[in-house]
């Protein structure tokens, strides 16, 4: 199957790109790495009339850190996070998660901002960024605005990104030297999307702990009782297991079947035990 006919344009600036998207309304979509968009076009799951190629915009690139925050341009490729000394020093969880994304070709082309904008519930970055308390910086005709990733993602493929806006960058608080992170992705074989995903961050030096389940029938699910168990430095397996089970049971609107509930439970428990061991 082939994509329907569409127009293609490559703007020279972020401002121009947003103006084109605004003029095109819902018929224009940005193209970054294209690892999800182009597949959707070829399967005719999506049929925009105009592709706005933002893949060469310098405003969307770069890795910097300042005042305890790491800034990553939205066009940061997954593969860049594997070899970045800045990331390995300040947010090593990103390096770890990037290694589990797709295959080499996908990691070389796919972008951090593109994954966040799509917000596939089974993808790595939405859950990881929510666990790290990251925020998305959005640029549009009205200027910039920032949203915590937890607030930015509404549900399955749903975000607060307006049609005329583009994710400019992601800002992530640096982890302290004593921080511990747990991560587990369960899938049938390497390179696939997750059947269950869990991320745990325990940074007691900053007074911050959070446990998140991904591939959870919606936006990343913050496990509040499990997160509080980390804050309280609970280490007893039964207490941790009970907190995770209570969080999953409380999310009745997610409609987990027994198999999925068990997968999410196992993933979360292993991620949490990794930071408490």
The number of distinct structural domains making up the chain is 3
Q: Is residue 1 part of a domain?
A: no
pLDDT at 56 over 90: yes
* Residue 138 pLDDT level (bands cut at 50, 70, 90): very high
Query: Would the pTM of this model clear 0.85, i.e. be above it?
Result: yes
Residues 148 and 241 in one domain: no
* Measured distance CA(276)–CA(160) in Å, rounded: 34
Residues 263 and 203 in one domain: yes
pLDDT at 115 over 80: yes
Take residue 180 and report the two structure tokens written for it: 């511990």
* Residue 212 pLDDT level (bands cut at 50, 70, 90): very high
The crossing angle, in degrees rounded to 10, of helices 224-231 and 237-250 is: 150
What are the phi and psi torsion angles at 128 (to 5°)?
-65, -45
pLDDT in the model for residue 192: 87
Number of Cβ within a 10 Å radius of residue 93: 23
pLDDT at 190 over 90: no
* Measured distance CA(252)–CA(247) in Å, rounded: 10
* Domain ranges, residue 43: 7-53
Q: Which residues have C-beta within 8 Å of that of residue 215, sequence separation ≥ 6?
A: 121, 122, 127, 193, 194, 195, 196, 197, 264
Domain CATH for 46: 3.30.43.10
């Amino acid at each position: 199957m082939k994509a329907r006919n569409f127009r293609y344009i490559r703007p020279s600036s972020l401002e121009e790109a947003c103006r084109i998207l605004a003029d095109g309304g819902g018929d224009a979509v940005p193209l970054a790495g294209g690892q999800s968009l182009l597949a959707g076009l070829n399967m005719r799951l999506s049929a925009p009339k105009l592709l706005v190629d933002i893949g060469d915009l310098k405003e969307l690139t770069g890795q910097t850190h300042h005042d305890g925050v790491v800034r990553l341009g939205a066009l940061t490729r997954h593969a860049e996070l594997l070899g970045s000394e800045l990331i390995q020093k300040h947010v090593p969880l990103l390096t770890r998660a990037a290694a589990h994304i797709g295959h080499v070709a996908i990691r070389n082309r796919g972008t951090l901002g593109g994954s966040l904008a799509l917000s596939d519930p089974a993808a790595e970055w939405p859950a990881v960024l929510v666990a790290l308390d990251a925020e998305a910086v959005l640029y549009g005709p009205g200027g910039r605005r920032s949203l915590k990733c937890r607030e930015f993602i509404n549900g399955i493929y749903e975000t607060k990104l307006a049609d005329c806006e583009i994710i400019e960058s992601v800002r992530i608080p640096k982890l302290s030297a004593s921080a511990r992170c747990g991560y587990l992705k369960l899938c049938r074989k390497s390179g696939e999307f997750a059947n269950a995903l869990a991320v745990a961050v325990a940074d007691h030096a900053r007074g911050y702990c959070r446990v998140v389940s991904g591939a959870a029938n919606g936006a990343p699910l913050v496990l509040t009782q499990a997160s509080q168990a980390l804050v309280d430095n609970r280490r007893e397996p039964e207490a941790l297991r009970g907190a995770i089970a209570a969080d999953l049971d409380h999310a009745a609107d997610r409609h987990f079947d027994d198999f999925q509930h068990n997968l999410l439970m196992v993933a979360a428990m292993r991620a949490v035990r990794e930071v408490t061991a």
